Amino acid sequence: MGNFVFDLIGKNIVAALVICIIPLVFILPYALIAILGELKIGAWMQDRVGPMRTGWKGVLQPVAEVVKLLQKEDITPTIANKPLFNLAPFIVFIGAFAAFAVLPFSEKFIPSGINLGLFFVFAVGSFAVIGIVMGGWASNNKYSLLGAMRSVAQIISYELPAGMVFLSIATIAGTLDMQTIILNQSGPIWNWYIFGGPQGGAIKFLFIPFFVILFIVYLISSLAETNRTPFDIPEGESEIVAGYHTEYSGMKFAMFFMAEYANMYVVSAIIVILFLGGWSSPFGTSFMDGPIWGIFWMVGKAFFFVFVQIWLRWTLPRLRVDQLMYLGWKVLLPLSIACFMAIAFLAMIN
């Protein structure tokens, strides 16, 4: 994609800006759709109708909410540390937005095809916690501070299992480049890494449980990374009011909000890339495959996992901090390390 824009406009600053803006153009409509999905799916699960007044069946509700947030007074507490307080939402959003730079949408469409894509996503994914701590501390509010403290503990403990999952897939794929990982999985559906990957031999069927466990480990860790239920402990509405963004209002709050939704897509896309073949068609290379269908498959599969996150949010209660730590350190981490060993062994005998 980068090459295409450079060919079209020439290698100058305008071309670079265009490439930067493309993911943003995706994020904004996506966030609106995800918010609408949250409202409507929540309503559907709870036997309500959800918003119905704005537009046909309430489809314009997210737009109305964004407009409302834009119009709201932007309050900064007088005792807050103003520079940090104002900077925090942007850092959180940058963390989510930067990951879009390396997320492929199709075979021919990736904003920046660097060969360390997986590592890059992992690195900027942990960026958000800085913003959260910054916002929580600078608000000078005890609830915010509690939320920020919880957030640090949570993200650090869940990045390790997630890192082990990344490492396992990188080992078996032999690369950190997302496009190559996806290319490895193209072809029939059993080439996907959740089914053991493309490497041949009946031996791979012995290793499928490890891949499935890794898939589940990452699914759980991703919920913790996006602060979604059952891991919405940093926001823990019923306990610490709104956690780290208690004091934020107006557009700064919207930045936190949008970062959360952007993050939801990022982790869903990572799940799809690592385990479910990314943009490759589940029907093999001959049917519904190609660059345009690739966008459909990539976004469609990722949206399914966004849906799963929304679904879990309206179903499950919240964990407690110590239970979250227990799950992260004593269950997920040993499991993922064991799976990593097994998969490294598989990679060695191949």
Partner 1 sequence: MERKFIEYDFGRVDSERMRLNVGPQHPSTHGVLRLEIELEGEIVTDVIPHIGYLHRCFEKYCEQMQYPQVIPYIDRLDYIASMNNEWPFVMGVEKMMNIQVPERVEYIRVIFAELNRIANHQIAVATFGMDAGAFTPFLYLFRDREMILNLFEHTSGARLLYNYFWVGGLAHDVPPNFKDTALNIIKTVRATNEEVMRLLMGNKIFVERTVKVGILPADVAINFACSGPVLRGSGVEWDLRKAQPYSIYDRFDFNVCVGSNEIGVIGDSWNRNIVRMNEMEQSCRIIEQAIAQMPNEGDVREKFPKKVRPPKGEIYCSAENPKGELGFYLVADGGNKPFRLKSRPTSFVNLAVLPEICKGYMVADLILILGSIDIVLGEVDR
Can you give the binding site for partner 1, defined by CB under 8 A?
42, 45-48, 142-143, 146, 149-150, 229-230, 232-233, 236-241, 314-323, 326
CB of 228 to partner 1, least distance (A): 11
Q: How far apart are CB 344 and partner 1 at their closest, in Å?
A: 30
C-alpha 58/C-alpha 47 separation (Å) is 16
Q: Please give the DSSP secondary-structure letter assigned to residue 331.
A: I
Nearest to 166 by CA among 345, 337, 347: 337
**Minimum distance, C-beta of residue 318 to partner 1, in the bound complex (Å):** 3
DSSP for 5-27 reads: HHHHH-SSHHHHHHHHHHHHHHH
Please answer whether residues 159 and 126 qualify as being in contact, where contact means their C-beta atoms are separated by less than 8 angstroms.
yes
Please state the closest distance from residue 332 (CB atom) to partner 1, in A: 15
User: Which is nearer to partner 1, 315 or 350 (by Cβ)?
Assistant: 315
Q: Which of 134, 163, 174, 173 is nearest to 151 (CA)?
A: 134
Residues in the chain, total? 350
Which residue lies nearer to partner 1 by CB, 179 or 246? 246
Q: How far is the CB of 254 from partner 1 (least distance, A)?
A: 21
Please give the structure tokens belonging to residue 8: 């079209």
Q: How many other β-carbons are positioned within 10 Å of the β-carbon of residue 200?
A: 8
The C-alpha R_g of the chain, in whole angstroms, comes to 21
The residue among 73 and 322 lying less far from partner 1, judged by its C-beta, is 322
Q: How far apart are CA 243 and CA 342, in angstroms?
A: 39
Phi, psi of 109 (to 5 degrees): -135, 95
Among residues 89 and 236, whose Cβ is nearest to partner 1?
A: 236
The first and second tokens of residue 147, run together, are 């939320």
Minimum distance from residue 147 beta carbon to partner 1 (Å):
11
Residues paired with residue 109 on neighbouring β-strands, in sequence order: 106
Closest to partner 1 by CB, 46 vs 71, is 46
Cα–Cα distance for residue pair 26/248, rounded to 1 Å: 25
**Is 295 in contact with 107 (CB distance < 8 Å)?**
no
In angstroms, rounded to a whole number, what is the distance separating the alpha carbons of residues 199 and 222? Answer: 27
Minimum CB distance to partner 1 smaller for 150 or for 301: 150
Q: Which is nearer to partner 1, 64 or 321 (CB)?
A: 321
Nearest to 28 by CA among 87, 122, 86, 96: 96
Nearer Cβ to partner 1 (119/314): 314
Helix (H) or strand (E) holding 268: helix 250-275
Residue (62 or 147) nearer to partner 1, CB: 147
Q: Helix, strand or coil for residue 133?
A: helix
The amino acid sitting at 80 is: A
